[in-house]
Structure 1
């Protein structure tokens, strides 16, 4: 039986990305050896969205929160760079933030029912 999911963020500066998740977002972690940090993810859920029939698909990471405006303000105070403004979508409020050395991840406040606490 499946008992978890392991998300991988590829980074051209792994130390900067690890520091961001550890020091800025404050995610709990274990050291799997030699400074190889494995972070505890927040509760999660998985959605499958349709794509162009000629596409091979893609995977995205979105972090979720209960109050996007307050979370953005808190993270900006910690020096986090946001790469998009907050927009309102049919499914929630959304923005994107920069992960040093590793691109961007989405951050959103869902309007829909969530599955992470089932």
Structure 2
């Protein structure tokens, strides 16, 4: 029986991005040894989109109150890209200290966590 999923975020500055998840997002975590932090994520869902070739994988964080979440992150010094209304939800991306980006959106579609 599958009991969960493990997401990997690759980073040019793993220490800074771990600190971001710990201090800015305030995700609970355990130290797997040597400062290697493993974070508990909020409930998640997976969607399979059509792609040409092998495809890629992406990580999006979700929120229930987009404006409040973006304002909170900006207050903590997080850079957010311009917001777009995609019809299915409001979308931005947030810059990680290591240079990468994570998607952030407020879905308008039914949430799989409501099943």
The TM-score with structure 1 as length reference comes to 0.93
1:11-70 CA distance string (max 9 Å, x none): 111100000000011000000111110000110000001123xx2101000000001111
- After the TM superposition, which parts of structure 1 deviate over 2 Å for at least 4 consecutive aligned residues? none
Is the CA contact (8 Å cut-off) linking 1:10 and 1:102 kept in structure 2? Answer: no
Counterpart of 2:103 in 1: which secondary structure?
strand
In the alignment, structure 2 segments of 5+ residues that lack a partner are: none
Counterpart of 1:75 in 2: which secondary structure? helix
Matches within 5 A, 1:1-118: 1-52=1-52, 55-82=53-80, 84-118=81-115
TM-score for both structures, normalised by structure 2: 0.96
The whole-number CA distance in structure 2 between the counterparts of 1:35 and 1:115 is: 33
Figure out how many residues of one structure are paired with residues of the other and give that number.
115
Q: Is the 8 A contact 1:14 1:102 kept in 2?
A: no
Give the distance between the partners of 1:66 and 1:4, measured in 2 at CA. Answer: 22
Give CA deviations for 1:73-114 in whole Å, capped at 9, x if unaligned.
0000000011x2111112100100011115001000000001
Deviation at 1:117, TM superposition (A): 4.0
